């Protein structure tokens, strides 16, 4: 089946630093999404990307849909303590034939030191 | 608050037992998804239901089963539990079976501990 490799697995950074994480797949996706999970909560959608090459921002977050459709990147600028959590990439292949099933990466655990 | 409700929040049981996890989707959402998150693992898709019918199936064990009822709530049944079944089980919902947004609304999860 499809697999998503997400890196890094964890990051411990200083407040104010920029963060980059990425996700690669062995096969192509039609949609890439980035979710954030905070302790004791379920994942919440941050950014959705629907077109190869697309670059989308949400506040301090910027994500890109790789041109090959096999990868995606998430950048967080000027990190703050509330950015702490686990960030998951997710890919969706064919929403018509496979419902809305998402394949998730293993997550990047972000820790921010004030 | 995502609008998705899961019960129980925590459950401790013994090997060999059977448990049922319950999920109420957001009002109006027809699709329900179940995901398993083991310690330090990503989210593994188990199964999706759309308006009462099974729509997609992931790596769900034969010991596990699910259903979606006419009122759209869903239950995930886990039987002959093993230590390795200890995990967070998430339910998520979306408006339709094939929405193209990719957005799922997750509940807070049910943490299952098998001793």
| Model confidence pLDDT, tens digit, residues B77-94 | 999 999 999 999 999 998
Which of B:10-69 have CB within 8 Å of A?
Answer: 31, 33, 35, 41-45, 48, 50, 55-56, 58-59
Please tell me the distance from the alpha carbon of residue A69 to that of residue B22, in angstroms, as a whole number: 36
Contact between B97 and B30 (Cβ < 8 Å) = yes
Burial class (CB in 10 A: 0-12, 13-18, 19+), B61: middle
Strands A44-49 and A103-104: unpaired
What pLDDT, in 10s, does the model give residues A16-66?
999 999 999 988 898 999 999 998 899 999 999 999 999 999 999 999 999
Q: What CA–CA distance (Å, rounded) separates B19 from B36?
A: 15
Average pLDDT over residues A63-90: 96
What residues form DSSP beta bridges with A7? A22
Taking a C-beta distance cutoff of 8 angstroms, is the pair B70, B83 a contact?
no
User: What tokens does B86 get?
Assistant: 């200890």
Question: What is the C-alpha to C-alpha distance for residues B32 and B72, in angstroms, rounded to an integer?
Answer: 8
Comparing A96-100, B28-32, B99-103, the range with the smallest average pLDDT is: A96-100
Give the residue on B whose Cα is nearest the Cα of A97.
B98
Strand partners, A73: A22, A64
- State the Cα–Cα distance between residues A51 and A25, nearest whole angstrom: 16
Pairing of strands B110-114, B10-13: parallel
Q: Which of B30, B36, B43, B105 to mutate to test the interface with A (most CBs of A within 10 A)?
A: B43
The pLDDT value recorded for residue B102 is: 73
pLDDT at B99: 53
């Amino acid at each position: 089946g499809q697999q998503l490799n997400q890196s890094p697995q964890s990051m411990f950074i200083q407040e104010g630093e920029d963060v980059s994480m990425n996700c690669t797949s062995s096969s192509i996706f039609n949609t890439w999404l980035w979710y954030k999970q905070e302790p004791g909560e379920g994942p919440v959608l941050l950014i959705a990307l629907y077109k190869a090459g697309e670059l989308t921002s949400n506040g301090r977050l910027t994500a890109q849909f790789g041109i090959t459709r096999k990868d995606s990147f998430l950048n967080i600028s000027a990190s703050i303590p509330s950015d702490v959590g686990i960030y998951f990439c997710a890919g969706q292949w064919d929403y018509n034939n496979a419902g809305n099933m998402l394949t998730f990466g293993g997550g990047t655990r972000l820790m921010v030191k004030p | 608050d995502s609008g998705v409700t899961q019960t129980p929040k925590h459950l401790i049981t013994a090997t060999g037992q059977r448990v049922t996890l319950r999920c109420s989707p957001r009002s109006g959402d027809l699709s329900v998804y179940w995901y398993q998150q083991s310690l330090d693992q990503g989210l593994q898709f188990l199964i999706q239901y759309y308006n009462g019918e099974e729509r997609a199936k992931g790596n769900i064990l034969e010991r596990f089963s699910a259903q979606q009822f006419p009122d759209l709530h869903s239950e995930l049944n886990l039987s002959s539990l093993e230590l390795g079944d200890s995990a967070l089980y998430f339910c998520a919902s979306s408006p339709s079976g094939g929405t193209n947004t990719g957005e799922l609304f997750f509940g807070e999860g049910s943490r299952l501990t098998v001793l």
